[in-house]
Structure 1
Amino acid sequence: MASSVADPTQARETKPSQGNPSSPTADLFRLNGRSVVITGGIGFLGLTVAQSVLESGGDAYCLDYLDGPRAETWGPLEEIAKKYNGIIQYHKCDVTSADSVGQAIGAVVSAARLPIRGLVACAGVSDKDPATEFSVERFRRLMDINVTGTFLAAQAVAREMRKANVSGSMVLVASMSGTVVNKGVDTAAYNSSKSALLQLARSLAAEWGSRANMPLIRVNTLSPGYIRTAATVDTLKIPGIEAQWCGDSMLNRLSTVDEFRAPVLFLLGDGSSFMTAADLRVDGGHCAW
């Protein structure tokens, strides 16, 4: 599924490799001239990121495991793409399969009018149960999606950036759960996977920020706090959990998915040109108690 425009020259390429003091402040959040790949692209955060990319002048390529997005969520994105002279496309992808990831990224490259200059790795799952009851199969599945899947996406995108010799920025979606343990729920596997992403991002940033044979690729993580979405409804039904989670935030509430638009755009765009191997924690102050 795709929406496109006839004149790709309307998009102006800018390079995120270094600061530009002559750039207007508003341009520091712009993504003109860039294709951005979004894994987990039709999830709650992925769809929000895609809209933000389009509104900021970029083209958005959403990857996910379903055969296709729902019309009621995809239709509005196509309208936004038309409004901003952008492109929105969906490609089916199993992030746990190197072949599937390679094919999906190859399809993006073949269709894209602009080089891939950004990745937002949203694909991930959560699972909970006491560690004594958590099967090894569930543990492996979660790590395969959250960690291996993120690595495969980053690897494939980095290879394409190297082929095109363009700089770029990657945002790996971690969690405050990679830094602290969640109260009231047993999520040892999930927490471990998100902690692994923090180290993965630092390690990739070290490689891709200093290698002579690589264009500059910045790699950072975004660590959200609790987000109120349909995916958290069941957990919030556990007696006392919503009060616990809200009370653990200095703002006394859960976040909403739209509150992560600006942080993602900041990490993708030129405004964060001197930022790599860092974690941007947006958790309402949860981890600072």
Structure 2
Amino acid sequence: MNQETNGNVHARHLRDTKKPQGGADRSVADLFRLDGRTIIVTGGGGFLGTAAARAILESGGDVVCLDVVPIPRPDNWDPVQETATKLGRHLGYVQCSTDNPESVASAFASLRKSLKNPIRGLVACAGISENGPSTVFSGSTFSRVLEINVTGTFLVAQAVANELLETQNSGSLVFIASMSGYVSNRGVDTAAYNSSKAAVHQLGRSLAAEWGSRVGMPLIRVNTLSPGYIRTAISAESMAKPGMKDQWEGDNMLLRTSTVDEYRAPIVYLLGDGSSFMTGADLRVDGGHCAW
């Protein structure tokens, strides 16, 4: 029989002391509740960010949204505010450039003052995509995509992890990746975006490995969620190109594109205790695009 190293024995002992959060004594409904938790949502003024925020509020959690714009668009934000008011939840909004360390530090220093419940999770939605032929695509634009999509995700995850370390609370981090981290999209030139989302997958796995059993760290789970094509006002521009709508819908087994609302339940699942034995994984919700 192979002998475990001292490090492996210690890591195994540490894992054993971190009790599962999805115990048999809890109802299934309770496993999808987020009561007593504050969840940070980056890109919180956008289509997916606001859908995630409403889902968290409806599941009992408080939300603080971070976004680069000073004030979110009313058509996106008003329904979130209405949900928070109706349910008596705390909802905050802080301007933040997530790829800037000073901006992230300032945002967290600001949002701490108004919290009713401790930070227990993150949904990292902030990201951009720039299209263009790679023969002429500028290096600066390529770097910018990586800075926002990858470095920005890391910096906010780091800040959340440090909050959890300070309070010794367990937490769940969800990074919005993409099916484009697995495949190259037909009909669009998005080498930078695709590369960044593959990097988000690896970032999630790497942080899950580091924070899942680190001595002195609370239990921090890290997973990624990979959406397929989402029908929004922004994607409508691409879908307006001749043949693109048929291309995108035909590439999915379900023969349609998705809506942002279809990612609410997966996000709540990953944040909640129902996914207590899930970390370092990717939940692909792509209508079967990558399964052909």
Q: Work out whether the TM-score is over 0.5.
A: yes
Shift of 1:280: 0.1
Aligned to 1:62: 65
Q: Which residue of 29, 32, 39 maps to 1:26?
A: 29
Number of the residue aligned with 1:207: 210
- Describe the shift of the 1:205–1:245 C-alpha distance in structure 2 as closer, same or farther (beyond 3 A): same
Q: Secondary structure at the match of 2:70?
A: coil
Listed one character per residue, the Cα deviations across residues 251-272 of structure 1 (whole Å, up to 9, x for unaligned) are 0000001000000000000110
> 1:109: Cα distance to partner?
1.8
Instruction: Tell me, yes or no, if the aligned pair for 2:46 and 2:76 is still in contact at 8 Å.
Output: no
Name the CA distance, whole Å, in 2 between partners of 1:35 and 1:183: 39
Question: Structure 1 vs Structure 2: percent identity of aligned residues?
Answer: 59
Residues 31-70 of structure 1 deviation map (CA, whole Å, 9 limit, x = unaligned): 0010000000010000000100110000010000011123
Partner of 2:80: 77
**Residue 283 (structure 1) aligns with:** 286
In the other structure, the counterpart of 1:129 is 132
Match of 2:262 among 259, 263, 274: 259
Q: Which residue of 2 aligns with 1:273?
A: 276
Matched, 1:186 2:150: no
Q: Which residue does 1:3 correspond to in 2?
A: none
- Aligned partners of 2:188 and 2:78: how far apart in 1? 36
What is the CA distance between 1:226 and its match in structure 2?
Answer: 0.2
Q: Displacement of 1:16 after TM fit?
A: 9.2
Structure 1: gaps (5+ residues): 1-14
For the structure 1 residues 65 and 16, does the alpha-carbon distance in structure 2 shift closer, same or farther, using more than 3 Å as the test? farther
Q: Please list, as runs of the form range in 1=range in 2, the aligned pairs for 1:1-289 lying within 5 A after superposition.
A: 18-289=21-292
Q: Which moved more, 1:62-71 or 1:144-153?
A: 62-71
Aligned length: 275
**Partner deviation per Cα, 1:142-162 (whole Å, 9 max, x = no partner):** 110000000001001100110
**Residues in 2 aligned to 1:70 and 1:186: alpha-carbon distance in whole angstroms:** 29
Residue segments in structure 2 that go unaligned for 5+ positions in a row: 1-17
Q: How far apart, CA to CA, are the structure 2 residues paired with 1:285 and 1:189? A: 23
Which letter maps to 1:54? L
* Alpha-carbon distance in structure 2 between the residues aligned to 1:17 and 1:263: 20
Q: Which has the larger radius of gyration?
A: 2
TM-score, normalised by the number of residues in structure 2: 0.92
How much has 1:184 moved relative to structure 2? 0.8
Which secondary structure state, in structure 2, belongs to the residue aligned with residue 181 of structure 1?
A: coil
**SS of corresponding position for 1:230:** coil
Contact 1:93 1:100 in 2 (8 A): yes
Deviates more, 1:247-256 or 1:99-108: 99-108
TM-score by length of 1: 0.93
Could you tell me which amino acid in structure 1 is paired with residue 165 of structure 2? Answer: R
Counterpart amino acid of residue 215 in structure 2: A
Rounded Cα–Cα distance in structure 2 between residues aligned with 1:211 and 1:267: 21
